[in-house]
Amino acid sequence: MADITIGLHGGAGALPRDQLSEAEWAQARADMKAALLAGWKILRAGGTALDAVEACVIVLEDSPHFNAGHGAALNADGEHELDAAIMDGATFRAGALAGVRRIRNPISAARRLLEQDDTVLLGGAAGDAFAAGEGLAMVDPAYFTTERRVKALASLKARALAGTVAQASEGEKHGTVGAVARDSRGNLAAATSTGGFNNKPVGRIGDSPIIGAGTYAENGIAAVSGTGRGEVFIRRVAAHEVAARIRLGGAEIGKAAHGVIHDVLSPHGIGAGMIALGAAGDPVAPYNTLGMHRGWITTAGAIFAGSHEDMVAMGLAP
């Protein structure tokens, strides 16, 4: 029997600590705890890592505090185009959607695609049509919009005019959610869902739905979900790079993940982070920004969640 564990990130674009009230930070942590417990319940009952990461990401997509599903970023036209992917480390099966607009929980549509074991990545209207055909909940795009993202778009547009986008905080620019888990049979899975970058070009697709870039899982090696400037994650095949360092280079997970964030991605001058899990042990969550929403339940059942340097102990999982 393998040690079960689950970890998540809620984006490397955490706002500076003083930009939200303690009550708002606490709410984000509570939502991360709820997301972790949704996955943990499945793992505890002997369920699969794949089911656990999907359940975990659904809770984060439904929370307004993270850039995925409800609360997703807006593109340059003020519209939502959502990306998501899920991968099963046991079978190498994967499902992903890019630029979808009406699926309440894009991660569930990605899961349905994975189950079909044929097409891996569906784009735009075809993705929406697939989800509708599968009977998944469809929503008016306005469902995804929150006041914070409308403000972030306005501020980034003003910065674009003033030529000061580079000075925008990571929180203003982006975010994503993701989860990794290991089940009692030792299977690994990863899932990622995002609204992408605020003010992104219409039709732009990030790394989250690109297998190997923002999302990757391989049994016995690693499960990885990334967050940060997707273009660089794609160019450096970042999630798979973590796995390659372990499989080919014999690195342990903490060193592999840290190396990819700090030695591979940081030199490109981007904000980046990830949640990653190996064949044994607890999840690791390196990042190079001011903060990254993240949380995990250790193999001993201890729940932790946080956004900046300190992690808050949130009790024991049942």
Q: Using CB under 6 A as the criterion, which residues of the chain lie in contact with ligand ASP when the complex forms?
A: 11-13, 174-176, 194, 196-197, 206-208, 214, 227-230
CB of 230 to ligand ASP, least distance (A): 2
- Between 42 and 190, CB nearer to ligand ASP: 190
- Dist. CA 124–CA 136, nearest whole Å: 16
CB of 187 to ligand ASP, least distance (A): 25
Tokens encoding 263: 């030695």
Whether the CB-CB separation of 306 and 14 falls below 8 Å is answered with no
CB of 208 to ligand ASP, least distance (A): 5
CB of 275 to ligand ASP, least distance (A): 12
CB of 215 to ligand ASP, least distance (A): 10
Whether the CB-CB separation of 72 and 103 falls below 8 Å is answered with no
- Between 47 and 206, CB nearer to ligand ASP: 206
- Between 8 and 12, CB nearer to ligand ASP: 12
Catalytic site includes residue 146: no
- Between 219 and 225, CB nearer to ligand ASP: 225
Beta bridge partners of 284: 276
| C-alpha distance from residue 274 to each of 18, 125, 291 (Å) | 23, 29, 12
- Between 108 and 208, CB nearer to ligand ASP: 208
CB of 67 to ligand ASP, least distance (A): 7
HSE-up (13 A, CA, CB side) for residue 152: 28
List the catalytic residue out of 176, 192, 215, 289: 176
Q: Which residues are catalytic?
A: 176
